[in-house]
A = this chain, B = another copy of it.
Amino acid sequence: MLEGRQVKVGILGATGTVGQRFISLLGSHPFFVVHALGASSRSAGKPYEQAVKWKLSTPIPQSTRSIIVSECKPEFFAECAVVFSGLDADVAGEIELAFRAAELAVFSNSKNHRRDPDVPLIVPLVNPPHLGIIPQQRSLHNPPLKKGFIVTNANCSTTGFVIPLAALEKAFGPIEACMITTMQAISGAGYPGVASLDIFDNVVPYISGEEEKMQWEALKILGGLTPGTSNADGNHPKKFDMHAAHPLRISASCNRVPVIDGHTMTVSIRFVRRPPPSAQQVREALAAYSTEALVLGCPSAPTEAIHVHDDSQPDRPQPRLDREYQAGAGVSVGRVRECAVLDVKFVVLVNNVCIGAATSSIINAELAIAKGVIAL
């Protein structure tokens, strides 16, 4: 898509950990070109390479080093067709609203607007059709907008398990229950994040707010966007139904483990369908899952949305060996087997800093262009 064209993008929170990941990933993007960088007033006015304490093992892309960092104000991003937000939650809410009001297209990795009724929460390998809410988001804005909108992507752990769940619901119909235990990497907590004294030689069986996020976000993502029904004042015709037709019970237990990148999860599910599919059928359905993002030619979409390790590799996926596969843009699933309590269980690995964060925002923006939500 877009051969030879260049699309200017901006990054909010450019010096933070998510911002660094955006910059690193965009350094080799076929058409997105980093044009503006926003950070706190402390960094504003400096060349990026002086403003940032770079924490990635790949160097800062040459083209970004000397961009002068600005404050996170819409006027500095007016030329950007896309604005990626890696802002911390304590400031993201207001700034993203201001950018939308200024007719900018915001793709946010922050949690602030995920629960807004007209903001889509999109895992790009799962629910691109939810972009269909955007005309309504614009029209209900005061004043109505022509171009501005906010799209959010999901929490990193949510992203990891909804991708295989979507594949299985597509193949076998609704799931009624899902139990997940996560073993999450330290990078999920940002920087400085987890103190080394808290996590060396240790497991912390608690991540504040994480279980609730996983349980709520999955329903919005896996549920439908109800078609518009006309009502008296014509407002709110579309609604996210939160998987309403088939209530889905989700129980998550979240743990922090001494791993740098990559969240590993054990997942067990129960289908509505009786008898349920076999482990082998589940394995095949996961491997066969294809995504609209790939069909539409999104350049950051993985060829394999779900890489399935078969029984010859019973000890996979592992974060250190598998997190970089396809640049972290897909998920890996292994150990698909029957569950003595629910129906089927398996292990999922998601690269929390790639498809679990920045890569999702980037593919979401690619989807928005491919589907015409952003007009270039």
Binding site for B on A (CB under 8 A): 17, 55-59, 177-179, 181, 183, 186-187, 191-206, 208, 215, 249-251, 253, 255, 257-260, 264, 266, 268, 270, 314-325, 334-335, 339-342, 345, 347
Contacts and interface: CB of A to CB of B under 8 A. Distances in A.
A322 B54 CA distance: 11
A43 to B, nearest CB: 16
Nearest to A324: B57
B255 A268 contact: no
A341 B199 contact: no
B260 A257 contact: no
Contacts of A323: 57
Contact of A340 (B181, B192, B250, B341): B250
B315 A206 contact: yes
This protein's copies in its complex: 4
Given A196-B198, A255-B264, 9 more contacts: A17-B197, A181-B181, A204-B315, A205-B315, A205-B347, A257-B257, A257-B258, A258-B259, A270-B341
A199 B196 contact: yes
A324 B56 CA distance: 10
A364 to B, nearest CB: 26
Contacts of A320: 57, 200-202
Contacts of A196: 186, 193-196, 198-200, 258
B202 A195 contact: no
A341 B257 CA distance: 24
Nearest to A263: B203
A251 B339 contact: yes
A258 B258 contact: yes
A325 B201 contact: no
A21 to B, nearest CB: 13
A164 to B, nearest CB: 14
A113 B301 CA distance: 49
